[in-house]
Amino acid sequence: MAIARTLKHLVAGAVIGLAALGVAHAEEWKFAVEEGPGDVQTLYAEQFKKLVEQRSQGKVKVTIYTYGQLGNENDLTELTASGAIQFSNASPGHLGTFVPEVQILSLPFLLPEADAAKGEILSNSKALYGSLAKDFTAKGLKLFTIYPEGEMIWTTKKAVRKPADLGDVKFRVMTSPILIEQFKLYGANPVALPWGEVYGGLQMNVIQAQVNPAFFIESAKFHEVTDHLIYVGDVEYTTTVVSNADFYESLPAERKKMLDEVRSELQQYIFKTEREKNAAAVDKMLKDNPKLKVVKLTDAEREVFRKRAEPLGQKLVAMVGGRAGEILKQLKAEIQTANTQVSAK
């Protein structure tokens, strides 16, 4: 994707957008997501658009771009950092090539499993919104929010219950380097690709497996070119919403206040929405493809993968350097507190 061509297209789009609105001084905020129509990120962006346009009394118009309209996942981050667009989703699974510290969020067996503790960490963690956010700012991005999109499920051509089953499996992962390390530790042959190449890769048997939440497997139709859904219970898909840092900083105080309010309201909305979408997607996939087999690892089987993943945190710290070790330590302490508070209730 030629970024120059995209920039030209975006400027032209802004002018046409204003003319169509017939509003002399309306601001246009462009929000690009990494997913397609009806997917979790798109539903979030649509709700964001609704609230921002209502609360700014039409003075701000939000234009949403879905996956592919402006490029792939890494292109969206570049466009946001350069200020060509104002908001985008930047999932840690891809953003690690740009903000390496964010890969902490991709570590398996780390985030709390209980909804309340997970919500507390993803919405309010000082390690994330205080410490990690500084690494975003250094790259021209404001960390606006983080939310979950569902448990990661493997789609495979054969049943997998242990690392030895993955020996001959080319396993598609997102483009952050830590994911390659994770799947090597799990015993597979990982391959990093943007998601637009995954359906064809599975169909042509260039790759034999990939990992995503249920709603996404269903909407990208990966269940048509797979035989098994494997529930490992190792990690939740999380995404960040980022804004251009200079744009955000230059906003008047009342706009920032509006965005803070919108952000907290949308956390509740999106937690509920992703759960509903994921549950419905599993039913739909099993109906569409009755040959699909579901494998849920037992606690003992899961433990084998947990043990394999143990060195990953230290590998990440060594790979990224800088403040990554400090942030991970701070986050682990917060997770422990959040887990204890939830189990005390």
- In the complex, the residues that contact ligand 6CS under the rule CB under 6 A are 34-35, 73, 91, 94, 149, 174, 195, 212-213, 216, 237
Nearest 5°: the CA angle 76, 78, 80 is: 70
Report the residue number, 65 or 237, with the smaller CB distance to ligand 6CS.
Answer: 237
Q: Shortest Cβ distance from residue 233 to ligand 6CS (Å)?
A: 17
Report the residue number, 6 or 131, with the smaller CB distance to ligand 6CS.
Answer: 6
Report the residue number, 131 or 212, with the smaller CB distance to ligand 6CS.
Answer: 212
Q: Shortest Cβ distance from residue 150 to ligand 6CS (Å)?
A: 8
Count CB-CB contacts under 10 A for residue 205: 10
Give the Cα separation of 122 and 326 in Å (integer).
18
Closest Cα partner for 155 from 289, 305, 33?
A: 289
The full length of the chain comes to 345
Closest Cα partner for 340 from 187, 140, 169, 114?
A: 114
Closest Cα partner for 13 from 2, 3, 28?
A: 28
Give the Cα separation of 317 and 340 in Å (integer).
26
Q: Shortest Cβ distance from residue 14 to ligand 6CS (Å)?
A: 25
Report the residue number, 92 or 338, with the smaller CB distance to ligand 6CS.
Answer: 92
Q: Shortest Cβ distance from residue 216 to ligand 6CS (Å)?
A: 4
Q: Shortest Cβ distance from residue 171 to ligand 6CS (Å)?
A: 12
Report the residue number, 94 or 142, with the smaller CB distance to ligand 6CS.
Answer: 94
Report the residue number, 175 or 339, with the smaller CB distance to ligand 6CS.
Answer: 175
**Nearest residue (beta carbon) to ligand 6CS:** 195
Q: Shortest Cβ distance from residue 342 to ligand 6CS (Å)?
A: 26
Closest Cα partner for 226 from 238, 239, 212?
A: 212
Report the residue number, 28 or 236, with the smaller CB distance to ligand 6CS.
Answer: 236
Q: Shortest Cβ distance from residue 23 to ligand 6CS (Å)?
A: 33
Q: Shortest Cβ distance from residue 176 to ligand 6CS (Å)?
A: 10
Report the residue number, 216 or 305, with the smaller CB distance to ligand 6CS.
Answer: 216
